[in-house]
Amino acid sequence: MADKWDKQQVLDFLKRTGEDLKRTGEEVRKEAQRIIDEVRDPETQAKVKEKLSSFGTWAKRTAEDAATMLDGAVKKAEDMFAKASERVRGPEEGAAPAARAPRPKKPAAKKAGRGKAKGGGSRKTIGKKR
């Protein structure tokens, strides 16, 4: 059930609430005034300008470094792409991969009486052509 308040309880509640709001308002005004005074202070303004200037210098230097690194990466990618294209096409501009002569395969020599090759394993390596 809802509480029933008499007229005096309502007035007391409103009075306390008004006093709380008044105190809170005064605290807010004091804090706002402190911030305004701090912002108007020439020493504080000088510190802020110095920090903004150093931040601007850092940002400019960092952007230039990033641009240089990106430019290098793009050039490297272009070189790699050109080399890969040349490998696919061949040294001549119009040569297709099928136009190149295939390499003859060497017959494997059989060795009687010997075990595994030195090193204990296969001599084939991934990615190397012989």
pLDDT average, residue stretch 13-30: 89
Which pLDDT band, with edges at 50, 70 and 90, does 1 fall under? very low
SS (H, E, C) 9-67: HHHHHHHHHHHHHHHHHHHHHHHHHHHHHHHHCHHHHHHHHHHHHHHHHHHHHHHHHHH
**Each residue's pLDDT tens digit, 33-63:** 999 999 899 999 999 999 999 999 999 999 9
pLDDT average, residue stretch 78-96: 78
Q: What is the pTM of this model?
A: 0.39
Domain coordinates of the chain in residue numbers? 1-40, 51-91
